[in-house]
Amino acid sequence: MHSMLMGYILWIFGFMGAHRFYYGKPVSGTIYFFTLGLLFIGWIIDLFLIPAMDREADIRFAQGEFDYNIAWILLTFLGVFGLHRFYIGKWITGILYLLTCGFFLLGIVYDYWTLNRQVSEANLYYQPD
């Protein structure tokens, strides 16, 4: 589900909270964003905490058809176009994101806080044809 490799790649930008958002820790991700990874000290400590965060995320979120890594890559690099929402089947909000630059970027912030939950719910409710 969540990839430890992806976690370490995001850790490189972790002083901005990227890896914490990825592992479903939006509060500490936001704190890291505004404090540069708790003045880089928390960022260095997280180098050793990533394996535990990875295990916890794999337990907390549902596995299924939709890949967390793909959803996070789409959000991070193409979120203003709503591609992450199209990916998990949220077509209406995907179109709205496409037409409004991700609800004027506020939707992107919301999705950083909730994307793991959204993918988990999509995995729970996905019914293949």
Q: What is the mean pLDDT of the chain?
A: 92
Phi then psi dihedrals of residue 2, to 5 deg: -80, 145
- Identify the pLDDT of residue 65: 93
- Specify whether the CB–CB gap between 28 and 20 falls below 8 A: yes
Give me the domain span that covers residue 48: 4-60
Same domain, 43 and 72: no
Distance of CA 57 to CAs 5, 80, 81, 95, 128, Å? 14, 25, 26, 29, 25
pLDDT of residue 129: 59
16: pLDDT strictly greater than 90 = no
pLDDT in tens, 73-126: 999 889 999 999 999 999 999 999 999 999 898 999 999 999 999 999 999 988
Total domains in the chain come to: 2
Domain boundary among 60, 84, 106: 60
Question: Residue 13's pLDDT band (boundaries 50, 70, 90)?
Answer: confident
Helices (H), the chain: 4-12, 18-22, 26-39, 41-60, 68-78, 83-87, 91-104, 106-125
| 8 Å CB contact between 75 and 108 | yes
Provide the whole-model pTM: 0.87
Among the three residues 12, 27, 60, which one is the final residue of a domain in this structure? Answer: 60
Are 46 and 82 members of one domain? no
- What are 80-93's pLDDT values in tens digits? 999 999 999 999 99
Structure confidence at residue 2 (pLDDT): 93
Q: Residue 4's pLDDT is what?
A: 94
